[in-house]
Structure 1
Amino acid sequence: MEALAVRLSGMDAHAEGAIRVIAFYDTLMRRRVDLPALARASAGLAECVAGLRLHGTGAVVRASPDGRPPSTVPAPASSTARVTLDDEEIGTVWLERTGPPNPLDEVLLDRLAIAAATAVERYGPARTTMADPALVELAISDDSDEAARARALRLLGFTADLPVQVVAVRSHLPLDRIGALLCPARPVKAASLADVGVILAATVDPARIPAGVRAGIGGADGPGRSWQQARTALRFTTARQPVVRYADLGALALLARIPPETVRDNADVAAVARLAGSPEDLETLDAYCATGSLRRAADLLHLHHSSVARRLDQIARSLGIELTEPAGLVRASLALTAWRLLDSARQAP
């Protein structure tokens, strides 16, 4: 390397400067500096504002030559370079030079891009909750090969030895707020895919999901499988049970695999669909199926048990099911769940 430097420096000042820039970034990489330190060092070397952005998180780091965050709004980039990792573009680096580009700017940005990719691979992306939807989709898609999935997870901040669970959510609350509450101390990323929020987390505590959020929670046996489980569990959520773990569904999960046409043609489901025209009756049936007890259903509905008994008698005649019998209660519960799945199938991600 030293002999090469001597030969190049004998050619012209530009070659000597290029070698100095390369050596500068080699030193930074040996010292294992992080992205903010890279931006500060680059700004000082270039004597202008330097910046970098990671596509996966949207994180932007800018530094002025004095090492502080710039006090001015971002100026148009005078020079840019792509940050690539495993042949995939993961970000951009740039300089905001007010005058014409310096002859060494291209070399500087090339080395900054290499150093930034090294830092991302070592430290992972910045700790932000929201992520690039394309990366999240790559991590959970059935069509992704394992190498692409592993690369996407790494760029999202999940190491190879870290379990990943997927949560499918529907809510008016911001996804980043839900993700931060769900997993405050461990890696968590979120993105919106179509009308469904997707949260990837190293651990999931259902009790931390805020009120008003419908959430289906998958297992930790791979993000692809976990996503399938999470969106199935989301279909089983109700106003009374807004959070459902796939593992708790057991055999009920099989209902989600029945073709909608078959479900729609079932007599019990058709009877529940007719009952849905009366929200009061539907709520009463739901409370009774959830509790299996007339008195507990009355408590849930804040009604006298005799009133609930009269409603259930009328509902039983409408459904053609004897609700006081165990078999009848099972039939009604399955029919009510299957009918709800028909509606959720139209909203399924």
Structure 2
Amino acid sequence: MKGLLLRLSALDADAEAAVRVIAYFDALVEHRATAAALVRATAGLAECPCGLELPDGRILRYGPDGEPSSPSESPTLGSPATAAGPAAAGAAATAGAVGAGGAVGAAASGEIAFGGGRLWLERLGGPAPLDELVLERASLAARVLLLSSERVGAPHLADPALVELVLSDREAAADRTRALRLLGLEPDRPVRVVAVTDDRGRDPGAEAVALVARGRPVRSVRVAVIGGVAAVLLQRRDSTASPAEDLRAALSSRQAESRNTTASSATAPGAPGAPGATAPGATAPGATAPGATAPGATAPGATAPGATAPDAAAPDATHPGTTTPGAAGVRGGDTVRVGRGGVRVGVGGNVDGLAAEASWAQARLALRFASAAGSPADAVVDHDELGPLALLADIPTARLREQPDVRALDALARTDSGALDVAALEAFCRTGSLRQAAATLYLHHSSVAARLAHVEDALGWHLDDPRDRFRAQLALWARKLATD
């Protein structure tokens, strides 16, 4: 290109200038300039204000000094310059005006339409000789850059140092802007931060990428692990929509696939629980394999549900709460942890790119309310849906831990059967139904009713009373926040 410019400069100065214009916009495309950078560069090259109306209706306008201005309107589509195409764009003046801050500016001296958008120059005294070429090359660059920016950004692990810089409230705005650009995000577009963790000890970054990839296409996604929690930066096409429902649907899909895989493995020939297979540790012929007992049937040596608490069953009995991996019960008087670990997600609010730290703080707060033991609706918590409940997180954990109801729940959970009692209370308050709570815990509903009766006796509550149910739910939230 340099040799060509030297030869052209000796033959035709106008030809040399034209090639320089082409090379200028080719460089912008090569470096994947943003729409704002393209308009700013075009205005600087043409030495007059330049405006761009994007396909979504947004309007960008920059002066030759590189300073942005707020246009009040754009040139009317169908003006002589637009209708005639690039050949007439440099010669036609548009009746519409583009002003800064609501004021009417100079009339557009040239305009060109492309793929649902428009680009124009505002030069006093009419178009310059190269304005037609500038508009044509700028519109071609805009078409390429906008098309590439609209492609779906595949979620991937980003540089944690850059993400930490974006999410820091102690760094200068210029540093955070640069970090956003290096991450491939646009500082002038809203961003939302999502916090993801996995209670099973798995890599939260990989889990976040897998979860986000299952949802609807997102404009840009960047993931980094910070302090054991995956921070997901999202810039969606619809910047106002929350990703919470998409994440819940993705989590539900993953759980369904996991259950199907587990069921297929369990029924494979020779697998524990398969027809004709002997349960590991069985000592008598005809013993029932774990998970193979029909609902309501009593395993050898077991006590039927409803007669006594399920945790009173003999050591060889099959417990309804232990038929699913990750569920828990009590065997031989030993307490087993209740609850299935898994992915928990907190969704922050939609904020400006330079205020990402606020969305990150909201996401981490929402994560404290999320529970992997329930449904996807419980595992994914949107900060905007918490409402005044979010204020509970402002109370110091030491004060929450010393609250009498929280201390009573902790004392109950430390007893032999108390862990399942508290789990039954959590499931009942979460679902609002005895049968749904039983399904969540893989217990018979009569067993859940018996455990709720234990809770009422131990804490003096009456769960039929709405006030006591609210008190119980508040105590459970406070206990979770105090121990998170």
Same fold (TM over 0.5): yes
Match of residue 30 from structure 2: 34
Partner AA of 2:186 in structure 1: T
Cα shift readout 1:244-283 (whole Å, capped 9, x = no counterpart): 1111111211111101111111100101112222321121
**Structure 1's 26 and 137: CA in aligned 2 closer, same or farther, altered over 3 A?**
farther
What is the aligned partner in structure 1 of residue 464 from structure 2? 324
Say which SS state the counterpart of residue 315 (structure 1) adopts: helix
Partner of 2:480: 340
- Aligned partners of 2:357 and 2:460: how far apart in 1? 42
Distance of aligned partners of 1:128 and 1:167 in 2 relative to their CA distance in 1, 3 Å threshold: closer
Matches of 2:463 and 2:390 in 1, distance apart?
23
State the AA in 1 paired with 2:448: V
**1:218, 1:233 within 8 Å by CA — same for their partners in 2?**
yes
CA apart distance, 1:30: 4.3
Paired residue for 1:306?
446
Q: 1: distance between equivalents of 2:446 and 2:210?
A: 44
Assess if the C-alpha contact under 8 Å between 2:351 and 2:359 holds in 1.
yes
1:220 alignment partner, one of 343, 350, 357: 350
1:180 equivalenced with 2:238 (yes/no): no
Give the whole-Å Cα distance in 2 for the aligned partners of 1:179 and 1:310: 40
Does the aligned pair in 1 maintain the 2:163–2:179 contact within 8 Å?
Answer: yes
With over 3 angstroms needed to count, the CA separation of the structure-2 counterparts of 1:194 and 1:30, relative to structure 1, is: same
Query: 1:164 maps to which residue?
Result: 191
Structure 1, residues 193-232: CA drift from partner, whole Å, max 9, x if none? Answer: 1211111011333233454421101011241111011000
- Are positions 1:266 and 2:403 aligned together? yes
C-alpha displacement of 1:237: 1.1
Q: SS in structure 2 opposite 1:162?
A: coil
CA distance in 2, matches of 1:298, 1:321: 20
Determine the structure 1 residue equivalent to 2:229: 196
Distance 1:164 1:31 in 2: 29
Structure with the bigger percentage of helix:
1
Matched ranges for 1:1-349 at <5 A: 30-32=25-27, 33-34=29-30, 129-171=156-198, 172=202, 174=206, 175-182=208-215, 184-203=217-236, 204=243, 205-206=246-247, 207-209=249-251, 210-211=254-255, 212-222=342-352, 223-239=356-372, 240=374, 241-277=378-414, 278-344=418-484
Contact 2:347 2:367 in 1 (8 A): yes
Change (3 A) 1:190 1:299: closer
CA contact (8 A) 1:237 1:243 kept: yes
The separation in 2 between residues aligned to 1:293 and 1:181, in whole angstroms, is 30
- Asked if 1 retains the 8 angstrom alpha-carbon contact of 2:434 and 2:449, the reply is yes
Backbone CA RMSD of aligned residues = 3.1
- Consecutive unaligned residues of structure 1, counting only runs of 5 or more, are 7-24, 37-120, 345-349
Letter in 1 for 2:30: D
Secondary structure at the aligned position of 1:208 is classed as helix
Aligned equivalents of 2:432 and 2:209: distance in 1?
38
Report if aligned partners of 2:154, 2:213 keep a CA contact under 8 Å in 1.
no
Cα distance in 2, alignment partners of residues 34 and 182 from structure 1: 30
CA distance in 1, matches of 2:370, 2:195: 11
Tell me what 1:9 maps to: none
Amino acid at match of 2:426: D
TM-score, L = length of structure 1: 0.61
**Equivalent residue number for residue 283 of structure 2:** none
Contact 1:180–1:188 (Cα < 8 Å) also in 2: no
Partners of 1:132 and 1:182 lie apart in 2 by 23
Match of 1:343, as an amino acid?
Answer: T
CA deviation map 1:139-195 (0-9, x unaligned):
111223333222221221121342211011113251443443346341000111121
- Whichever of the two has the greater Rg, that structure is 2
Structure-2 separation of matches of 1:299 and 1:129: 36
SS in 1 for 2:462: coil
Native 8 Å contact 2:155 2:213 kept in 1: no
Instruction: Give the conservation status (yes or no) of the 8 Å contact 1:179–1:190.
Output: no
Rounded Cα–Cα distance in structure 1 between residues aligned with 2:213 and 2:449: 45
Preserved contact between residue 420 and residue 451 of structure 2 (Cα < 8 Å):
no
Q: Write out per-residue CA displacement over residues 23-42 of structure 1, whole angstroms, 9 at most, x where no aligned residue.
A: xx998654225369xxxxxx
- 5+ long unaligned stretches in structure 2: 7-19, 33-144, 237-242, 256-341
8 Å contact from structure 2 (residues 155, 220) kept in 1: no
Q: 1:182 to 1:28 in 2, by over 3 A?
A: farther
> TM-score if structure 2 supplies the norm length?
0.45
Deviation at 1:299, TM superposition (A): 4.0
**Deviates most, 144-153 or 193-202:** 144-153
CA distance in 1, matches of 2:444, 2:224: 45
In 1: Cα distance, 2:463 partner to 2:178 partner: 53
Describe the superposition over 1:31-66 as per-residue Cα deviations: whole angstroms up to 9, x where unpaired: 225369xxxxxxxxxxxxxxxxxxxxxxxxxxxxxx
Q: Name the CA distance, whole Å, in 2 between partners of 1:242 and 1:255.
A: 19
Question: Which deviates more, 282-291 or 181-190?
Answer: 181-190
Distance 1:312 1:127 in 2: 46
Q: Given that residues 129 and 179 in structure 1 are in contact (C-alpha distance below 8 angstroms), is that contact kept between their aligned partners in structure 2?
A: no
- The answer to whether the 8 Å contact 1:292/1:329 transfers is no
